[in-house]
Amino acid sequence: MTRPDLFNLTGKRALVTGASRGLGREFALTLARAGADVAITSRTLDALADTRADIEQLGRRCFPVALDVRSESSISTAIETIDRDFGALDILINNAGCNIRKPALEVTWEDWNTILDTNLRGVFFVAQAVARRMIARQTAGRIVNIGSVTSVAGYAGLAPYGASRGGVRQLTMSLAADWGPHGITVNCLAPGWFKTAQNAVMYEDAAWVSYLTDKIPLRRPGRTGDLDGALLFLSSDASAYVTGQTLLVDGGITVNDTRALPRKS
């Protein structure tokens, strides 16, 4: 028997970090369309104005908060504010991230720290702050860490980024084991090659896009909306017995040999 309510998020409260643009913005809107009220974060409140307006246009409540995931005090303050003024969270989409694309020999100490502090340490401590409150309230929550195809495949020019995303994949499994007894599922949604603000310059090279597309069995990079179903699955009751998993949404690129993808400087 079909249960249409499995993906219905009406009455749920979600948090999406890094929601001012790109995939994070799309994630926030997807949850709102499914009925959730959504707290959204970025390093500056002004950057969240458009996302907030679009969520409220859908008839959902939106709560913007400034959050820098590289700062312990910022995480603590933001999650406390959300808990107090928005309400107890049912869903966390741990999306905030960054990248500095360089050949491995050119990566600096600062580059490494910026990427790992944002993409791995930040993911852990945001999840910890949210899970602590879920456990205290005995909430059967959903945590979705946003990873990447680089967690399972190597690409030139992405050494620190790939290391951070590989760490997120392993972290997801560990947190699932830690928090499963409390009814919290922790999964990783790993997109393949999507055009975002971080990598838009790469898509200006038609030859590179053609070469990339040839490596993808579905013969195209990801489009807006391609992640919606997977996100709703991992955020809803539809995935109640799924935890510690990495769900690749990559057009099938990981079934091919990806080592030959060219470096784009």
| C-alpha span between 164 and 223 (Å, rounded) | 24
CB 195 within 8 A of CB 181: no
- Catalytic residue flag (residue 155): no
3-state SS string for 144-177: EEECCHHHCCCCCCCHHHHHHHHHHHHHHHHHHH
CB 221 within 8 A of CB 210: no
CB 38 within 8 A of CB 63: yes
Q: Record the tokens describing residue 50, joined without a space.
A: 């458009």
* 85 Cβ contact partners less than 8 Å away, ≥ 6 residues apart: 63
Helix, strand or coil for residue 224?
coil
Q: Which helix (H) or strand (E) holds 41?
A: strand 37-42
Spot the catalytic one: 155, 161, 211, 241.
161
Burial 112-123 (b: 16+ CB within 10 A, else e): eebbbebbbbbb
Closest of 174, 171, 96, 78 to residue 133, by C-alpha: 78
Return the active site residues.
Answer: 161
